[in-house]
Structure 1
Amino acid sequence: MFGHRVLLRTASLQRFSLSQCLPRARPLSRAASALTTSSSNRLTELAKGLKAAKASTISAIFPDFEKALAEAQGHPLQPPPLQQSDVVELVQKLAASGRPEHDHLIRKTLHLLPVIRVEPTIDMYAVIIQACVARNDLEAVAAWLIEMRKLPGNFKPSTAIFNLCLRDLAFRTFSGLKRAATPLKGRARCPLNADTFDILLQRSFQMSREANKPPFWVDVRWIFEFCRGDSIQWSQDTSTLIYNTFAKASMEDVGRELQSRYDSYKSNANVPASVWWEERLRNLRGQNDVGESLAQLRSMTDNADISEHTKLIGQVLLEDSMSVADLRLLDRELGPSHSTDRWAYVIENITRAAKADEAYSVYQAAKAEKVHITIQLVAPILREFSYIPSISDDIIERSLAVYRDLKSSCPPRPKQRDLSTETAEMYASLFRLISKYGNDKYYPVAQSLVEDMSAYGVPMQSKIAESLINIEMRRASTEEEAIQAYHRWKEFLAPEGYPQVLIRFSQLSFDSNPIPSLREYFRIVKDMQLAGPSRVTNKAYSIILTRIGMLASEMKREGTLTYELRDYFIDATRRAHDHLTLDSNITPSSYVFAQLINTYQRLDCFGDAYRVWQLMYLTGTHNPHSISNILDACGYAEDLYTAKAVWNRLSKDRYPFEFKHWQTWVECLCRCHQVQHAIKVVLEDFPQAGHDSFTLIPLLLKMATKERKLKYALETIQAQNPSMYHKIQTQLDIFKL
């Protein structure tokens, strides 16, 4: 229809060095003066602790390290507390865990590199992506590839790393691979080459064999669309493979058709001239602005060659440009040929920097310049608008105006069939915008968009079905209507679409019931199990448990949690617990059990929470979240005996407590009216574990204030640690006492 637009399995990471996949970084400047000996020694000790620590304990040391760095601000670090190899090892340990808080620490570490005078290297990013691929974390891989350009070093994803991820990440179906690859090609700007086509083709055929099914010709056609032009480099072996694979499945005609299409790229058997041109252009652009690069190019070659490669020239020279001036210059110098492509490049660059308003302004400039409106111009703007957290009328009206421009420019044709991924993604953005809007004002627009999709021959996609279910459930006045909305579109849902449907359904309230029927909820969960891998189903339990816990807490604060409602929530939680333990289709994750503890605690069901904790501890499945949650539960239940039993048992096991655990332990003791014990933990136990007591002082004083023991706490600290007391007195404004 309108025109054209990827994620990064683990078996063969060693075949490629990821260090070869990223360009080199720029050196950093030096700092100016000398650091005091005592501060330097403290910083060195903390750095040693970070280097020796396991991933689970790095988070406890890191705040002290950050603070020591802040104190050393303005002084040169001689030598730097961490070397490049130390940073590589540190981020590798954190990335291997896959925990969100460790991902946050990685980013903090990278942003501290200029402060500690360490130059960012490609290996730092290589080990992060390697760890994400090793644990098959598609979302993390995508996030890192997309963000890489904005993080220290400004590294760009390369073809080699993209191909590595396409080959080595695990996908249950080729459709899953397609859904992963498309956004990376677009948002992460991962370039393609001849190997990309071969990898996708081999994986398509491999998945067909593993599923004991004939090869799917639609997948191969998608590969042709995905890998256009010079990224398909012809070879006789690949040509024969395409035909033989389909011939073995008694699909000779399809094999011949696809082979013929592939053979049309036979001219690409040798290195295309465009490769040489691209290298020359990149060398010029690396040293000059757009205008100077073009001027030097004209002095090196004749106009006929330039005219032949206008598309490539625009693509390379505008690779990082966000300037309308650059666009107008190239339009003037190169003529109207491929002008739309050039404007699309710049709009894409701007949207990758999350500047939706600026992209919209460039689009308006393109209209003023009479640039032909295509999907390449429109889709990035709509996508970026749809990612804005709070959607206003103005955003939707501007988005719809852009879409109408596209419709006017490219009206539907009779019996049109548009299978391009970019078109489907554009409609997904529009439906996401409407689904995020606060009311039903744009419901008629959603209906008209469904009709437009039919007119253009755009097939229904999971993301679109997800948004439509969301929109229609929000309008439902009864639970039956909400379920009907789900059944109307559920056939189009992929496994990844179910969590959002469950979140929306769990937020519905009918007939004075704050949560919908669990019977219907778990019917949707059953559909979810049938649609995809069981690992997704753990999230289904987490969604309903989180919702119950949050509602209970909100109603407690507002004073609206009646005995009847509390009993209703408890019954719902226990039923969800029963489903979880009796569901033979899944292995409950430690995260779900930790959430179960949290929900029971919020409902004041300490006995239930402790039984879940006991099960986790005895089976060795307890995790950091469950430890924090059970200590929280002990504190709110004022059960000092059980709290001490939990802490002492874990201490005896030499469990590596994280900073969050120490915080929760101090809070728990104070809630159990044991401020004196909490002071001992902060002044004695915490430092013995290798941490700085002062990092827990604000929390201790806050909790002591709530217990009306602030004066006692300060007097005790003054008697036991005068230097700490003096430090508190000099920073009282921080504590807001």
Structure 2
Amino acid sequence: MSLSRAVARLAYPAGPFTRSVSRPSTLRRAAPVFRVKRDQRRFLTVKHDPSLSYVPDIDAIVDKIRRCIPTANVGALHQQFYGLFRVLDEERKDKPTAPPLKEKEIHDVLSLLAESGRHHDLDMVMKILVDLPILCGVEVGVKVYNVILRGLIANGNPQTIFNWLMNMPQKPKNITPTLLQWHMFFEWCAGSGQVGVLQHSVSKMHRSGRRPTFKTFEILFNALFDTGASIKKIHEALDIMEHTPLTYDENFAKLLYDGFVKLGLTDRAQEMKDNYWKRFSKRSRTTDPNMIEWTESIEKEAENKGIAAAVTLCKSLQKDGFKLSSHTLTLLIRHTHRLEYLRYAEAELHLKASTIHWAILISNAVRIGDLTGALSIYEESKSAGITPGTPLVHPIVNALCTTLDDAAIDRALGLYKDLAEAAPVTHSKQELQPPGRRHSSGPDANLYNILFLAFGASKNVKKYFPIALSLLEDMEARNIELNSPMAVSSLAIVVMRCASSFDDALKAYKRICKRPNAPPLDAKGYQAILHTLTQLSFGDYERLPSVWHYFEVVKDMRTRGVEITAPVYTILFRHLALLSGELPPEERDALAAAVRRAHDHLTLDPSFTPDTVLWNQLMDTYQRVGLFAEAYRVWETLFITGRFNQASVAIIIDACGFANAWPMAAQVCLKMTKLGFKFNLRTWNTWIECMCRVGKLDDALKVVCLEMGKDQPNIAPDVNTVKVLLSFAARTNQQDEVMDRIKRYLPQLWHTLPTELDGYSIRERATAVDPK
């Protein structure tokens, strides 16, 4: 049965779920989706296949997984792996279980999940990696990460790939992404024309623990030349290169020259080559090819075979003329956070670790998420006589301040105090810190930026208000300027959150932003200010965000030439929607009026054209504050212009459910089916919830069991679908009936459900359900 036919039938009032009492005469003409005898409480099951009531074992689940792989049925793989994890957990209690799958099969599954690329697919990838030895008897290594990376590249979302590589050190086995993996991503970016993503990723990749090489920049510059990039972009790429330890290379100089010739800028080619020579020629540690080869081999040995093998190699190379230096220690510990490795290398090679070596260990510990270890290394460095410096303190402070926990922020302030005391302010006027300076002996602008940001986000902002002011005084004493728009906005947020009214908050924002030499706010900084304005509340009389004050800040954005984009309006609409569930009924009218005023500002803004995401947010906000008619008008605008998407359909169906507007919900779905619009899983679940909300629980269950996703291979009911049904079934004590039908018609889903589902114990009640 098609969805359109099902909707047409469901347009009639729903019959009772299980009761056998006769219907009123006015309802007897209603055509039920299924004709069921009065005394029959469940679906027709006379010829029901008994094989559907099996209790799964490992062999049965593994067989289903193997059959899902060739069909790329990701939804079924999710279900089967949840079942497999459960069975393995139960069997491990009794005895060790042999790995049920082969390495190749796991690779195929990981590839499919990565290629699908949704958040819950990547969550399943992580679950599989955690249990990889149990699933196929193989430890997590570079090989399996290569499989996942190829799948992510096939999916084609550059941000997802970048995030995966950057976070690899915190994933199972704490593996630093290899150069090959980064270059796989970069070459894909170059081939697909994502040069902006490529350049940004090259500039950030060092944070993953892997530095760019000449090969990395060859990929980047070739992509820039192939796409006819501007000279400005090429110089920006060279700026990125200058922040690496790379030295002058004649072959790379030739690449730059030939690239400019390719762009038809022969007269600028030699100029660019000379510029490259001026920037990099004096940085060379050595031009001796033997030395270059030795240093590369030592670093590879340390990473691939461990510290002992690398130290042995160093001693061996000394016989050939290799000279030990402080840089040798850097090569040995570049990819480790183990303090004992540094101690071992120091003792064996009779070298003394410097601040930079301790900083490498700390940065690596932070990178893999071991903040406790990083703090321990820092304390050990002080015991070893190392003076606290920015390279040591900065990564720990940054990690502590991202937790937004007062204890963590206080610990970060303790580290700041160590740094400030190690480099006290002198009475003589200090020189202004140059903006390009990478490290400071004392606190630098980046450190203050991080602390101000943490203060502004803290729940206990009043506690940090005086501390922020004292840090400002310290900055002035050290001649350090606020060099970041986000630092300015963070400081403004601290002051705004300590204000006593919206007027005071607006004045505070303007006072901070007009500080001498303060950089102008950018779009991100303004959005942070706007978000803060929506969060402010001043007693019983000023609990709603002030729309007037909000758009005064928006006016400042326009005056300063900052582009007005969708988030400017989305921030306000989203907060008003959230408030609808928090405010008492007597304040609903004021909330609805605020939404209408914000909508008026949007309508009258000639410089901005809303996108679908923003219209969706406005529609959702209207329905949440109880203005269904306005929400439906937004939907009609989206439908007529053809700018709706899955989220639009889900929002309007949800709105119809809450407004008890079943005919309009049915009409929306009929229009969608006529257009051939296929629901995704979220929209299906919203449709099911809408039916339940208007009293059609029986019809909703029939759609779940017999209609949902039948012509969509990757769509199937999931645990959230069952939760929706159970939440409404609980109102009439019909959970057992719902679970009985799920067990009969969707046995694979039933066996993968959590043991406790929203307070309903599936396993305890299973024996009480009629097995027929």
Q: Shorter-chain TM-score: what band? A: 0.7 to 0.9
Partner of 2:483: 460
**Residue 124 (str. 1) matches residue 144 (str. 2):** no
**Residue 432 (str. 1) matches residue 447 (str. 2):** no
Deviation larger for 82-91 or 202-211: 202-211
Distance 1:571 1:165, change over 3 A: farther
The letter for the 1-side match of 2:656 is C
Distance 1:594 1:287, change over 3 A: same
Is the 1:233–1:265 Cα contact (8 Å) retained in structure 2? no
**Residue 301 (str. 1) matches residue 318 (str. 2):** yes
Partner of 1:627: 649
**Residue 484 (str. 1) matches residue 503 (str. 2):** no
Q: Report deviation, 1:646.
A: 2.4
C-alpha distance in structure 1 between counterparts of 2:376 and 2:99, whole Å: 44
**Residue 280 (str. 1) matches residue 298 (str. 2):** yes
Out of 679, 682, 693, the position equivalent to 2:701 is 679
Distance 1:263 1:220, change over 3 A: farther
Trace 1:610-689 onto structure 2 (pairs within 5 A).
Answer: 610-686=632-708, 688=710
Is the 1:194–1:231 Cα contact (8 Å) retained in structure 2? no
**Residue 69 (str. 1) matches residue 84 (str. 2):** yes
C-alpha distance in structure 2 between counterparts of 1:226 and 1:337, whole Å: 26
C-alpha distance in structure 2 between counterparts of 1:120 and 1:528, whole Å: 48
Partner of 2:338: 323
Distance 1:663 1:204, change over 3 A: closer
Q: Report deviation, 1:367.
A: 0.4
Q: Report deviation, 1:352.
A: 1.0
Out of 482, 507, 514, the position equivalent to 2:543 is 514
Trace 1:333-732 onto structure 2 (pairs within 5 A).
Answer: 333-334=348-349, 337-392=352-407, 395-411=408-424, 414-419=430-435, 420-421=437-438, 423-437=444-458, 438-454=460-476, 455-458=478-481, 460-487=483-510, 488-489=512-513, 491-510=519-538, 512-525=541-554, 528=557, 537-555=565-583, 560-562=584-586, 565-686=587-708, 688=710, 695=719, 696-706=721-731, 709-711=732-734, 714-715=736-737
Is the 1:239–1:263 Cα contact (8 Å) retained in structure 2? no
Q: Report deviation, 1:719.
A: 8.4
List alignment gaps of at least 5 residues for structure 1.
1-33, 53-57
The letter for the 2-side match of 1:149 is P
C-alpha distance in structure 1 between counterparts of 2:693 and 2:203, whole Å: 51
The letter for the 2-side match of 1:486 is Y
C-alpha distance in structure 1 between counterparts of 2:755 and 2:415, whole Å: 55
Is the 1:701–1:710 Cα contact (8 Å) retained in structure 2? no
Is the 1:129–1:141 Cα contact (8 Å) retained in structure 2? yes
Distance 1:239 1:61, change over 3 A: closer
Deviation larger for 323-332 or 460-469: 323-332
Distance 1:631 1:694, change over 3 A: same
Q: Report deviation, 1:388.
A: 1.2
C-alpha distance in structure 2 between counterparts of 1:61 and 1:258, whole Å: 55
Distance 1:385 1:597, change over 3 A: same
The letter for the 2-side match of 1:379 is H
Deviation larger for 501-510 or 291-300: 291-300
C-alpha distance in structure 2 between counterparts of 1:410 and 1:105, whole Å: 49
List alignment gaps of at least 5 residues for structure 2.
1-55, 89-96, 761-772
* Rg larger for: 2
C-alpha distance in structure 2 between counterparts of 1:500 and 1:659, whole Å: 33
Normalised TM-score (structure 2)? 0.73
C-alpha distance in structure 2 between counterparts of 1:586 and 1:106, whole Å: 40
1:422-453 Cα distance to aligned partner (Å, 9 max, x none):
64433322222322331222323323333444
C-alpha distance in structure 1 between counterparts of 2:247 and 2:636, whole Å: 60
Q: Report deviation, 1:81.
A: 9.7
Out of 115, 128, 142, the position equivalent to 1:92 is 115
Q: Report deviation, 1:675.
A: 1.8
Trace 1:120-159 onto structure 2 (pairs within 5 A).
Answer: 120-128=144-152, 137=159, 140=160, 142-151=162-171, 155-159=175-179
The letter for the 2-side match of 1:279 is S
SS at match of 1:227: coil
C-alpha distance in structure 2 between counterparts of 1:350 and 1:71, whole Å: 33
Kindly tell me the number of residue pairs found equivalent between the two proteins: 663
Distance 1:338 1:594, change over 3 A: same
Distance 1:317 1:198, change over 3 A: same
SS at match of 1:354: coil
Q: Report deviation, 1:156.
A: 3.2
Is the 1:347–1:362 Cα contact (8 Å) retained in structure 2? yes
Q: Report deviation, 1:326.
A: 2.5
Give the share of equivalent positions with the same residue, in percent.
24
Distance 1:153 1:322, change over 3 A: closer
Normalised TM-score (structure 1)? 0.76
Q: Report deviation, 1:474.
A: 0.9
C-alpha distance in structure 2 between counterparts of 1:300 and 1:259, whole Å: 31
The letter for the 2-side match of 1:477 is S
Q: Report deviation, 1:285.
A: 4.9
Q: Report deviation, 1:283.
A: 2.3
1:531-573 Cα distance to aligned partner (Å, 9 max, x none):
7886x82222221111111111112xxxx231xx322221222
C-alpha distance in structure 2 between counterparts of 1:124 and 1:432, whole Å: 35
Q: Report deviation, 1:609.
A: 1.6
Partner of 1:11: none
Trace 1:195-210 onto structure 2 (pairs within 5 A).
Answer: 210=230
Deviation larger for 397-406 or 369-378: 397-406
The letter for the 1-side match of 2:728 is M
Partner of 1:15: none
Distance 1:552 1:662, change over 3 A: same
Is the 1:495–1:532 Cα contact (8 Å) retained in structure 2? no
C-alpha distance in structure 1 between counterparts of 2:216 and 2:101, whole Å: 46
Is the 2:337–2:361 Cα contact (8 Å) retained in structure 1? yes
C-alpha distance in structure 1 between counterparts of 2:120 and 2:606, whole Å: 31
C-alpha distance in structure 1 between counterparts of 2:124 and 2:742, whole Å: 33
Structure in which a larger fraction of residues adopt helix: 1
Distance 1:667 1:521, change over 3 A: same
Deviation larger for 420-429 or 225-234: 225-234
C-alpha distance in structure 2 between counterparts of 1:541 and 1:147, whole Å: 32
Q: Report deviation, 1:516.
A: 3.3
Q: Report deviation, 1:509.
A: 2.7
